[in-house]
Amino acid sequence: MSDADDPAAVDTDDAEAVLDSLFATIKQRQAELPDDSYTASLFTHEKGENEVLEKLGEEATEVILAAKDDNLDDLQYESADFVYHLLVLFAMKDLSVDDLRDELESRF
């Protein structure tokens, strides 16, 4: 069976491009801190890193509840929110998407 026939096959170039593009935007907002940017506000929030950590906890709870309720639309939406906030935390900690990829690749 070719990858084209495999429903589990993922176009890794597209998947990587989305994460890379999102992370590049996050890094750009971190550097430029535009006033009208939610992402920039996370980097300048008075709670500092704790604001992002709280958001990660909130999003993790929402992912769990969506899964428990078998709400696939919410599961997808809340998972995207979780990944976004995780990438913001990575930027704060000077980690990158490549660091995440490397860790995941080391596990199989």
Domains of the chain: 47-102 (1.10.287.1080)
pLDDT for the residue 5 = 47
What are the distances in angstroms from CA 105 to CA 16, 28, 71?
13, 26, 29
The enclosing H or E element of 4 equals: none
Residues in the chain predicted with pLDDT less than 70, given as ranges, are 1-13
Q: Among 1, 3, 2, which residue's Cα sits nearest to residue 12? A: 3
pLDDT for the residue 15 = 73
> How remote is the C-alpha of 31 from its chain's centroid?
18
